[in-house]
């Protein structure tokens, strides 16, 4: 998956992609057609008019131009359009879209193909870190970093912060010395409450009956 959330022009590009992602490639094509040729998908009248509304193209409607067809002079790139193109090229986005289209896809397939390969969502690791930074503001207790692990008397535990289906949670895995494996998922609000009230997490091994108590800051574990 190619993440576009870090781009400076992320918001306007996402709005353009919601109209149709082929318009992003049109920006590449209009700036450097010898490098990014017309795939045969473009409707100049429609595409130039749409990008004009975003301030990336200066478009002359039929009432203002001499010919019936749209010429390059009727669909000129603006300075903002060039800035967006430069960012797309510097991040290799134009080339990646061009490569996808070279697989022989049709225009009707391109929305699906674009969504399978590109996303405007935040990178999961960055999203997790931003949430952890928010949690740090809600508590005075420092806690273990992501993917922290420790072995206590031959029993290993590991913590991992995850996001699935846009839900943030903490997963604790324990590998008991008896070889049994235990796991628990803790949602954000529960994690913050355990920190602020200093509640331990408790898991029991159903094979050897050991009870594992993990400190709310996740730095250590005791066995009873």
Residue bearing the bigger pLDDT, 100 or 86 = 86
Checking DSSP bridges between strand 57-59 and strand 149-152, what pairing results, if any? unpaired
Contact predicate 111/21, CB 8 Å: yes
Decide if pLDDT at 156 tops 80.
yes
What does the block give as tokens for 8?
A: 């400076």
What does the block give as tokens for 130?
A: 């931003």
Burial of residue 173 (number of CB atoms within 10 Å: 0-12, 13-18, 19+) = middle
Decide if pLDDT at 150 tops 90.
yes
What's the pTM value of the predicted model, to 2 decimals? Answer: 0.71
Contact predicate 160/146, CB 8 Å: yes
Average pLDDT over all residues of the chain: 92
> What is the reported pLDDT for 104?
76
Contact predicate 75/59, CB 8 Å: yes
Contact predicate 119/136, CB 8 Å: no
Nearest to 39 by CA among 57, 52, 21: 21
pLDDT digits (tens, 9 = 90+) for 25-45: 999 999 998 998 888 889 999
Percent of the chain beyond pLDDT 90?
Answer: 76
pLDDT digits (tens, 9 = 90+) for 125-139: 888 999 999 999 999
Contact predicate 62/38, CB 8 Å: no
């Amino acid at each position: 998956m190619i993440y576009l959330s870090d781009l400076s022009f992320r918001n306007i590009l996402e709005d353009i992609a919601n109209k149709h992602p082929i318009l992003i490639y049109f920006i590449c094509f209009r700036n450097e057609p010898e490098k990014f040729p017309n795939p045969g998908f473009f409707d100049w009248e429609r595409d130039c008019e749409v990008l004009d509304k975003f301030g990336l193209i200066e478009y002359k409607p039929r009432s203002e131009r001499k010919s019936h067809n749209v010429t390059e002079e009727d669909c000129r790139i603006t300075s903002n359009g060039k800035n967006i193109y430069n960012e797309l090229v510097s991040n290799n986005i134009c080339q990646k879209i061009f490569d996808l289209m070279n697989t022989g896809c049709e225009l009707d397939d391109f929305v699906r193909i674009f969504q399978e390969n590109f996303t405007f969502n935040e990178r999961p690791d960055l999203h997790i870190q931003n949430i952890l930074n928010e949690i740090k503001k809600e508590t005075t207790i420092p806690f273990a970093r992501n993917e922290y692990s420790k072995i206590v008397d031959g029993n290993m535990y590991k913590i991992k912060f995850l996001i699935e289906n846009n839900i943030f949670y903490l997963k604790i895995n324990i590998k008991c010395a008896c070889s049994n494996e235990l796991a628990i998922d803790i949602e954000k609000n529960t994690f913050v409450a355990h920190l602020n009230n200093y509640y331990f997490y408790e898991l029991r091994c159903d094979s050897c009956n050991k009870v594992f108590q993990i400190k709310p800051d996740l730095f250590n574990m005791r066995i009873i």
